[in-house]
Structure 1
């Protein structure tokens, strides 16, 4: 469950930062935030629920999507640290990069160094369904209400 929640939190925080910065700017300056937003959305809506039912495929897909998010989050943290000022805003701006790196570390550790440990949730089918349905339903509701902004 640690990997599941790290996927959820890192994807939500990264997507929130990207969409917040997009709302106060004139648009994206490069493709890095678009790729990171796409990776965060797929990590939240597909990889995290898939992790509950097929852990190997969920972990591999999670590694790919976290790698898509990594350049933007590290670049964002680097741009904030270039100001040479330390305050609470700097700490908060480092969180997407730290959470993405932490989730990537957990995924790689689970895939390559602990493959014999079964990650599947040992809970009832209804608990698995609930944990899988929450991110999928939130994503569907987001596209129902704000989908015209994307397309």
Structure 2
């Protein structure tokens, strides 16, 4: 489960970064796919990743919901990248957020529908599990404290 925990964290952070980077160089969101992807990144980062440490099945279900919220934006993002029909090695780096979402969806559904049951819970020190549980939540709270003043509801208007 630690691989899914790290996968959820990386997929959420990279997709959040890409969405906010494109928002910063544009005049706003063109449709609701990036807004849903932001919500999916929030669900993955502060919801599914901590929950998967203690309640594996619930964490997997919340993780698949978060990944499915990010999926339309990832597909549109990949479509816009490959429209140029020119391959360069930077494409692999640019497609990393989408690749992380697809692999998270694959391993989450594989873990949910595994015949042998779910993968075993993380067998670690209780202090380490508690630290891994509260780290994403604390980082989200700190982000909202320091950068929440720059967010407003008008930015989500089309």
Structure 1 residues 129 and 30: alpha-carbon distance in aligned structure 2, compared to 1, 3 A threshold: same
Instruction: Give yes or no for contact 1:49–1:133 (8 Å, CA) kept in 2.
Output: yes
Q: Give 1:41 shift.
A: 1.2
2:139 equivalent to 1:135: no
Q: TM-score, normalised by structure 2?
A: 0.91
Structure 1 residues 105 and 82: alpha-carbon distance in aligned structure 2, compared to 1, 3 A threshold: same
Q: TM-score, normalised by structure 1?
A: 0.95
Tell me the alpha carbon deviations over residues 80-139 of structure 1, each in whole angstroms, 9 at most, x when there is no partner. 100112223322221111110100111000011245244311012101011111111111
Question: Quick one: distance in 2 between partners of 1:104 and 1:145?
Answer: 31
Task: Provide the residue aligned with 2:155 in structure 1.
Answer: none
5+ residue gaps, structure 2, are 153-158
Task: Provide the residue aligned with 1:54 in structure 2.
Answer: 55
Aligned positions, number = 151
Task: Provide the residue aligned with 2:156 in structure 1.
Answer: none
2:121 equivalent to 1:120: yes
Question: Quick one: distance in 1 between partners of 2:6 and 2:126?
Answer: 18
Q: What's the Cα RMSD here?
A: 1.2
5+ residue gaps, structure 1, are none
Tell me the alpha carbon deviations over residues 15-44 of structure 1, each in whole angstroms, 9 at most, x when there is no partner. 000011111111110000000011101210
Question: Quick one: distance in 2 between partners of 1:91 and 1:52?
Answer: 30
